[in-house]
A and B are shown apart, each in its own frame.
Chain A
Amino acid sequence: MTAIRWLPIIMSTALLCSCNQLLVDEAASDQNLADFDETWNIVNSRYPYLEWKQIDWDSIRTVYRPRAEQALGDEFYKVLYDLLYELKDGHVYYQTEGGGQVYPYFPTPRALRDRKAFSPYVVRKYFDKELRVTKEGGFEYEFLPGRNIGYVWISSFESENFNLRFAEVLEYFRDTEGLIIDDRNGSGGSLQSNMYAVGRFLSSPIDTIQVYDADGQRLDWPSYGPVGPFRYTAQVVVIINGGAYSARENFADKMKSLPNVTVIGDTTGGGSAGQNSSGYYAGKHVLPSGKIINIPKFDIRRLDGLPWEDIGVPPDIRVLQTAADIKRGQDKQLEYAIELLP
């Protein structure tokens, strides 16, 4: 009798424990295969480096399409991850529904290697006072102790008011005998920032920049020209490493061509793919399910005519530095740069 009295309670409890299933629906649509096909087609027709990287995109389709076919629900994200990883391009990513980006191949191997081979905290030890920081935090800069030499670390080429802040930094160092530009381990950024930064050191335009799309068609590209109130003509050392990626590499490559500039350190990360934010060369594509992928559309070249995709931009003088050096509190690349300047 007692058992019967408690039976409704036990049954009710069991039912209550299913509330989570009642209230949270399963997803209704499954467009994984359509998403896969769309992704494969976009890369096949528009990605500029399949040949440069010797990627057999047809055979990749035969491997991954069955996986996409079998994937249920969010398992497709893993297929997408592996598929896009095959491009070995740090600019390629996909987004979750809410916009969280996933970069399958970033950091690139050299960026990963040098992730801890630079530290702004170690750099600060080489100064006898606190480094100045621009308003939005895009630049850290100061004179080297007892020297008429400036040092600036560009933490990002995409910071707000980049041109204005870079102009402030150069004004501060206007009468110096030399300048160290630290291009290591920060964010990439826009072409406009890049052109302004390089333009402050130019006496004549660089109009030989080659940019191609996936069909091999050369695109019209703005030339880099002198900009700003004055041109910095004293000796410049640019420090690079594997953590310099994308726009940072472009900066190093263009600076390298100038007679008063020496680039030291280690080869950059290797990402020369570009894209527009909208139009035919837009990187972003919405897949049938609503997921978004980003596939770069053009190939920007170094001044020697090669893409720096994968191979990076090598320094004029190689100065190796490891995470162990930084752990010991030593920045060999910075020390070398200081020695190079008068």
Chain B
Amino acid sequence: MSLRFAPLIAIISCCAGALLAQAPSVQPVLPPTGLTVQYGLGQYALRDEYISKERYSGIMPYVSAEWSRFHGKWGYRLGFEFRQATEISNNNVAAGILHAALYRDYFYPVGRKSLFGNDAYLFLGPATGIHIYMNDQQVAAQGAFNFDNSMATLFSLGINAMAVVPFRAHLQIEGSLRLSLLAMGVRSTDVVEGEGSMGGILTLLSGTDPTAGCGIRYFIDERLSLKAAYRLQILRISKWNPLLSVDDNITLSISVHI
């Protein structure tokens, strides 16, 4: 499994290297605060073994709205994200997918490092969130009496990390990682057989949902910026019937720095 991540890490490194080889000139706002609205589109793949071992995949949009403030020594981020698609499919079997999350992250400056000749401003803090995942694979006709909908919910506590690298006038690179370390999870189980509890504690090993992002922000002026980014979100739960979903998105966002 770890080998699978090797190309991903290499690609991120190449990408960052190419961008960081630019000379900084103007230092914009650090970190970006205010109101941000984001839209993304990307490929989504899912294997939900509550239903089957088959892979479902397709295109799924992503939207989010976020409010963030920075108070000199610390900041916070309050956001809502939503993804929904009805045509995530395995051959001719479609699945309706709905993911929603409400999160609140705190971040503290942890230092400034030199990275390829540029200053990288690092932030770290706790992350909390409620994440709801509902998968409706159409393995039965509509209206049939069935329990084939699969769901998972995480009430998570973890960390978030952010790096901001100003590298040119009005431009900065931003990287972020959010990771659940401990979560209270709820998952579909066999209701008729009553096998096990639907709820349980999930650790980093038994269930987590890392989100990583890397993008470029362009400041139109002091109050407005645009960002293009790549966003990767993984959900992996192994405590019950395994659930693995991976979502790559190219996102565009607009921020009003209030």
Distance in angstroms from B151 CB to nearest chain A CB is 11
Distance in angstroms from A20 CB to nearest chain B CB is 4
A24 & B245 in contact (Cβ 8 Å cutoff): yes
A24 & B57 in contact (Cβ 8 Å cutoff): yes
* Cβ of A78 under 8 Å from chain B: yes
A98 & B188 in contact (Cβ 8 Å cutoff): yes
Distance in angstroms from A35 CB to nearest chain B CB is 12
Interface string of B35-56 (1 = CB under 8 A from A): 0000000111111011111111
B55 & A100 in contact (Cβ 8 Å cutoff): no
Given A27-B52, A101-B146, A20:B43 Cβ within 8 A = yes
Collect the chain B residues with CB atoms within 8 Å of residue A103's CB.
144-146
Q: Which A residues from 1 to 32 make CB contacts under 8 A with B? A: 5, 8-9, 12-13, 15-29
A74 & B245 in contact (Cβ 8 Å cutoff): no
* Cβ of B140 under 8 Å from chain A: yes
Collect the chain B residues with CB atoms within 8 Å of residue A21's CB.
43, 45, 57
Partner of B246, one of A13, A20, A107: A20
* Cβ of A72 under 8 Å from chain B: yes
A74 & B91 in contact (Cβ 8 Å cutoff): yes
* Cβ of A104 under 8 Å from chain B: yes
> Which partner residue on chain B sits nearest A106 by CB separation?
B145
Collect the chain B residues with CB atoms within 8 Å of residue A28's CB.
53
B144 & A18 in contact (Cβ 8 Å cutoff): no
Given A20-B248, A21-B45, A98:B51 Cβ within 8 A = yes
B8 & A16 in contact (Cβ 8 Å cutoff): yes
A8-B192 Cα distance, complex, nearest whole Å: 53
Most buried by B among A17, A22, A23, A72: A23
* Cβ of B71 under 8 Å from chain A: no
B55 & A23 in contact (Cβ 8 Å cutoff): no
A95-B91 Cα distance, complex, nearest whole Å: 20
Q: Which residues of B contact A (CB under 8 A)?
A: 4, 7-8, 11-12, 14-15, 18-19, 42-47, 49-57, 90-93, 137, 139-141, 144-150, 188-193, 195, 230, 232, 234, 240-241, 244-248, 250
A5-B190 Cα distance, complex, nearest whole Å: 54
Given A15-B7, A101-B147, A96:B247 Cβ within 8 A = no
Most buried by A among B12, B57, B139: B139
Q: A17-B43, A24-B45 are in contact. List 14 more A-B contacts (CB 8 A).
A: A5-B18, A8-B15, A17-B230, A20-B43, A27-B55, A71-B91, A72-B91, A73-B91, A74-B51, A75-B93, A77-B93, A81-B141, A97-B52, A106-B145
Distance in angstroms from A79 CB to nearest chain B CB is 11
B241 & A77 in contact (Cβ 8 Å cutoff): no
> Which partner residue on chain B sits nearest A108 by CB separation?
B145
A23-B172 Cα distance, complex, nearest whole Å: 30
A16 & B144 in contact (Cβ 8 Å cutoff): no
A23-B45 Cα distance, complex, nearest whole Å: 9
Size class of the contact patch on chain A: 35 or more
Q: Which residues of A contact B (CB under 8 A)?
A: 5, 8-9, 12-13, 15-29, 71-75, 77-78, 81, 95-104, 106-107
Distance in angstroms from B61 CB to nearest chain A CB is 14
Given A20-B45, A21-B57, A101-B192, A73:B11 Cβ within 8 A = no
A81 & B144 in contact (Cβ 8 Å cutoff): yes
Partner of B19, one of A9, A20, A100, A107: A9
Collect the chain B residues with CB atoms within 8 Å of residue A25's CB.
47, 55
**29 A-B pairs, CB-CB below 8 angstroms?**
A13-B15, A15-B11, A16-B232, A17-B42, A17-B230, A20-B43, A21-B43, A22-B4, A23-B234, A23-B246, A24-B57, A24-B245, A24-B246, A27-B54, A28-B53, A29-B53, A74-B93, A74-B137, A81-B139, A81-B141, A98-B150, A98-B240, A99-B50, A99-B192, A100-B188, A101-B148, A102-B139, A102-B144, A102-B146
A99 & B195 in contact (Cβ 8 Å cutoff): yes
> Which partner residue on chain A sits nearest B57 by CB separation?
A20
Collect the chain B residues with CB atoms within 8 Å of residue A8's CB.
14-15, 18
Partner of A97, one of B12, B230, B241: B241
B54 & A73 in contact (Cβ 8 Å cutoff): yes
Collect the chain A residues with CB atoms within 8 Å of residue B144's CB.
81, 102-104, 106
Distance in angstroms from A148 CB to nearest chain B CB is 39
B52 & A74 in contact (Cβ 8 Å cutoff): yes
B45 & A16 in contact (Cβ 8 Å cutoff): no
A22-B244 Cα distance, complex, nearest whole Å: 12
Distance in angstroms from B143 CB to nearest chain A CB is 8
A99 & B57 in contact (Cβ 8 Å cutoff): no
Partner of B250, one of A17, A74, A78: A17
A19 & B54 in contact (Cβ 8 Å cutoff): no
A7-B103 Cα distance, complex, nearest whole Å: 35
A73-B192 Cα distance, complex, nearest whole Å: 25
Collect the chain B residues with CB atoms within 8 Å of residue A15's CB.
7, 11
A224-B137 Cα distance, complex, nearest whole Å: 44
> Which partner residue on chain B sits nearest A16 by CB separation?
B230
A97-B45 Cα distance, complex, nearest whole Å: 18
Partner of B247, one of A20, A71, A72: A20
